[in-house]
Amino acid sequence: MGFMAGKRALIVGVASDRSIATGIATAFAREGAEIAFTYQNDKLKSRVSKLAETLGQNSELCFPCDVGDDNEIATVFAELGKHWDGLDVLVHSVGFAPRDQLDGQYVDAVTREGFKIAHDISSYSLAALAKAALPMMEGRGSSILTLTYYGAVKVVPNYNVMGLAKASLEANVRFLAADLGPRGIRVNGISAGAIKTLAAAGIAGFRKMLTHFDKVAPLRRCVTIEDVGNAAAFLCSDLASGITGEITYVDGGFNIIGMHIEDD
Ligand code: NAD
Ligand code: 0WE
């Protein structure tokens, strides 16, 4: 029996078979969890229901949800409540800034509107989902997980306002963990190393970042959605019952390196 048997999970953020959320769903299913999904818009609906089917899930449990819209968030939990009497796991794997924010120097690219959208979709949405999920999650040893990136704590070229939004997201994890701990809900983040997903497509110099990672990270390789999925399954299971408010790095050790000398 898997270590997530009997857990019911809602996963927000599948867009393709390369999505980090897909790696998480795959690990959850392998460990015996039941999974419901949301999709951002109609364009993504068929991909998400296909994944739900492949994982042997009831594909009925796919709901539309643009996390920028409070009504859509409320509807997801109203609909989910018709199928499930409680929720054990909520995964938030969503990040967005307008494309023009992620190119060139931060000081040139950042705008009031770009800042607002990045923080709304990438950070506030975690609190919005947590608020809406609370009635279904409290008092049952449940957990919430989000995905963050090293650009929250150190400067990464072109990541720009997304770095500020991820810093806010990581603080969001701590404030939510403090409030929701007494209500029986753990809240954690995974800081994943760079992975080629849709969100990475077309980012200037992304391939160079991946080869740098292969050379510098202690594990001498990039991480995969399987690596992240397995860590996510652990953090969202009872195996991690004492862990809350933490950011766990799943980055092959990249973040611990201060200076690198090339291998022979
Ligand atoms: P992805 O493109 O597969 O997933 C991003 C998801 O965000 C998509 O499913 C998209 O539909 C969703 N999304 C964007 N705006 C939304 C909105 N308004 N409403 C609802 N959903 C919305 O890319 P990914 O790399 O799997 O990204 C998932 C998470 O992982 C993001 O938070 C990202 O910042 C984080 N992350 C990615 C990497 C990486 O290198 N790929 C590294 C560390 C952290
Ligand atoms: O968080 C991310 C991706 C965030 C992202 C990506 C896009 C591309 C398409 C947010 N918004 C958008 N908007 C779009 O229109 N990552 C951690 C992956 C990533 O993105 C980078 C990176 C890394 C790593 C951007 C610049 C530099 C490094």
SS in 3 state form for 116-130? Answer: HHHHHHHHHHHHHHH
pLDDT at 83: 97
Return phi, psi of residue 37, to 5°.
-125, 155
Q: Between the CA of residue 217 and those of 1, 153, 163, 222, 255, what are the distances in Å?
A: 34, 17, 20, 8, 8
Q: Of all atoms in ligand 1, which is nearest to the CA of residue 15? A: 9
The DSSP H or E segment spanning 172 is helix 161-180
Return phi, psi of residue 118, to 5°.
-60, -45
Name residue 90's beta-bridge partners. Answer: 10, 144
Model pTM score: 0.98
Q: Is the CB of 254 under 6 A from ligand 1?
A: no
Tell me which residue has its CA closest to atom 41 in ligand 1: 195
In this predicted model, what pLDDT tens digit does every residue of 129-144 receive, in sequence order?
Answer: 999 999 999 999 999 9
Instruction: Quote the Cα angle for 37-128-134, to 5°.
Output: 75
CA of 65 to the centre of ligand 1 (A): 14
Known active-site residue 159: yes
Known active-site residue 39: no
Q: Is the CB of 171 under 6 A from ligand 1?
A: no
d(CA 103, CA 121): 19
Q: Is the CB of 228 under 6 A from ligand 1?
A: no
CA of 148 to the centre of ligand 2 (A): 11
In this predicted model, what pLDDT tens digit does every residue of 41-94 receive, in sequence order?
Answer: 999 999 999 999 998 766 679 999 999 999 999 999 999 999 999 999 999 999
**Given 39, 106, 124, 149, which residue is catalytic?**
149
DSSP assigned state of 68: T
In this predicted model, what pLDDT tens digit does every residue of 9-48 receive, in sequence order?
Answer: 999 999 999 999 999 999 999 999 999 999 999 999 999 9
